[in-house]
Chains A and B, each alone.
Chain A
Amino acid sequence: MDVENAKAQMRKGVLEFCILGILKRGEAYPSDIMSTLKEAKLIIVEGTLYPLLTRLKNDGLLTYRWEESQQGPPRKYYSITEDGIKFHSELKNTWDELSYAVKQSQKLQ
């Protein structure tokens, strides 16, 4: 079992949950989302983010608007939808359960 790979899989699993969480606080530009995630050391490169955002948007959990930028091309600002909020709260329940389970199991050892 490759430890790097296991780590990557764990991170990817919670990534959607985290993105929804960030956007629940308000609309954001991918670089903003990125900096939060980077601080949390969840992902280190931006590449991972774009396909994920598009997928969440296509699933109806996110929406976006264009905004002109002083430097470079116009930016996509993402915000969460009603469905996204529902989805997030369900994920949150699961996360709480999981994190409790993880804490408990790690304590026992």
Chain B
Amino acid sequence: MNKTISINLGGSVFNIEEEAYQILRVYLEKISANFSGDPATSEIMSDIEARIAEIFHDKNSDKKNVVTRQDIEEMMQIMGRPEDYKMDAEDTNKSAPQESANAPRNNKRKIYRDTDDAVIAGVCSGLSHYLGWDPLVLRLLIAFLTIVSFGFPGVLGYIIFWALVPAAKTTGEKLQMRGEKVNVENIGRFVNEEAKSAADRVNKFGKNAAQNIRNGSGDFFRGLGRVFSVIFGLFILMIGLGLLGSLLSLMVFSEFTAFGIDGSNWEALNTVVFGNDGTMWVLVVGIILLLAAPAVALIYAAVKLITGSNKRIKGFALSLLSLFIIGVLLSVYGGVKTGKQFSRHAEETSTTLLAQTNSDTLHFEVIPDSIFFGRHSKNNDFTDLIRIENDKIYYGEPVSVHFEPTHNAQCKVQIVRRSEGPSMEQAGLLTRNIDYNYHVVNDSINVGAYFTTPRSDVYRGQNIEVKVFVPIGKYVSFGQNSSWITWHNEEDGVLRMSEDGLENIREQEDRINEHSGEDNLEEHHLRVTDDSVVIKTGNLEIKTRRN
């Protein structure tokens, strides 16, 4: 018993056995593929179909109503193999060695999704046919990748592949997916295998159950799947459009404030970091491609999911992949080139010893300036911290101040200039070019909140660290501007240097208050001098300004 299908060929209706139908369809597909791009294709094909119909008529004249595989094979004897339809001699030339090749595995494989062996959409099994791997290995790999990367490459890659790569639906496509030659013998064998596995399934589940799955619930799940794929398509469409949209707005409006460049724009970034050598544009193009290619792929995938189309735009996925790879290469090139500029580190320390005085307090203050005054915030806000004026670049951020305890009685101030550069020499030169304003007079230390470099030096991670070595037991009094650049939050205050660094006066006050809650209040002494208040409790001594 064989199932037959009714087909319309060249204007006549034929009943054809399913197996024969598969072969005929692939045969016609293959012939048609010979003329791809030729505007006369449909005319040629209808002539051929008409002739095939005529041949079937001749065969059916003997009261036999069904076209069988035998008829197809006889028809092919008359009409020739698909390769015989090629018009150009070069094509024959090309296909000749392929035809003579006996090893089916040597045939060119095409990527399809294998929906017959699918866990989700047959991506892994399809890819495994192409790569010749075990699908289980790929599945584990993708699962691993997904877990390690929190979903991104695994799931996203899967979705993109799902949408870009069509499922192998016809027998011909299934054979191509496995890298087997699409010819009559293989199709026949494949169709037989399929029929056998279908029969097995029927035996396993019982005829009725299988029938139900095929007709009723099969349709239901297909419908449900359709709804899901539309919802899913809309979801990834939004991601794709969002990615593309933000990329476009970034490009068009240049509204980014990286590095806090005043009036930030590409020009300033190009000057400050890249020295206008074109590397920035390489990076920009690279990053655009890096982001735009997946965005376009996502949108394309979404459109395919929503419309449910299974068409393959020739070369589209490949072009996107190439653009993406170009993007990766450009970004890596730009990144490495820029990174090299930061590969060597140099630092230079200049030390100033403070004159020995009788005072037990150091005065620390930040020199007010018109450039960063009031802009500087304690929240590490990068805005407005780099400026280009005349032939200098002003850096407001990377000045840091540290107070360190020393057992030495001598106070000293170290100014550490640091810079990166492509070579030690260059980095050293850059550190020497840093212009930093500070002065140390007697026991008062005044430091600038910013430093400058020549405009030609560009940004190579230059920074200034001010290290103040304070003898243990001495006090540091902070001026009102000093909170600009120290971690210290008080407007002004006096801190005492201990073994572990400066002690926060607030904490100690808290501790004193805790103590005062107990009964040893009388042990506290309070001494008020001309300009400060000294609290003594046990062996702790805290001094604050009088106000």
Contact = CB atoms under 8 A, between A and B. Distances in A.
Contacts, number: 86
Q: Helix, strand, loop or mixed for chain A's interface?
A: helix
A14 interface: no
Contacts of A5: 92-93, 96
Contact of A71 (B31, B54, B84, B92): B54
A47 B85 contact: yes
B250 to A, nearest CB: 52
B53 A54 contact: no
Given A47-B84, A54-B43, A71 B58 contact: yes
Contacts of B85: 47-48, 50-51
B54 A45 contact: no
Contact of A55 (B12, B87, B89): B87
A4 B84 contact: no
A8 B79 contact: no
A80 to B, nearest CB: 18
Most central of A8, A51, A58, A73 by chain B CB within 10 Å: A51
B51 interface: yes
A2 B96 contact: yes
B79 A45 contact: yes
B92 A51 contact: no
B40 interface: yes
Contact of B51 (A9, A30, A44): A30
A48 B51 CA distance: 13
Contacts of A2: 93, 96-97
Contacts of A72: 10, 12, 50, 53-54, 56-58
B312 to A, nearest CB: 25
Interface string A38-65: 0000001111101111110010000000
Contacts of A58: 40
B441 interface: no
A64 to B, nearest CB: 10
Nearest to B99: A4
Interface residues of B, dominant DSSP: helix
A72 B12 CA distance: 7
B89 A9 contact: yes
Contacts of B10: 72-73
B50 A51 contact: no
A4 B77 CA distance: 19
A76 interface: yes
A12 interface: yes
A50 B93 CA distance: 20
A89 B34 CA distance: 31
Interface in B71-112: 77-82, 84-87, 89, 92-93, 96-97
B47 A46 contact: no
Contacts of A13: 89
A50 B35 contact: no
A69 interface: yes
19 contacts: A5-B92, A5-B93, A8-B89, A13-B89, A30-B47, A45-B79, A45-B81, A45-B84, A46-B51, A47-B85, A50-B47, A50-B85, A51-B34, A51-B35, A51-B40, A54-B43, A55-B40, A71-B58, A72-B54
Q: Which 9 A-B pairs have the closest CB atoms?
A: A45-B80, A47-B80, A72-B54, A72-B57, A47-B85, A9-B89, A73-B10, A47-B84, A47-B79
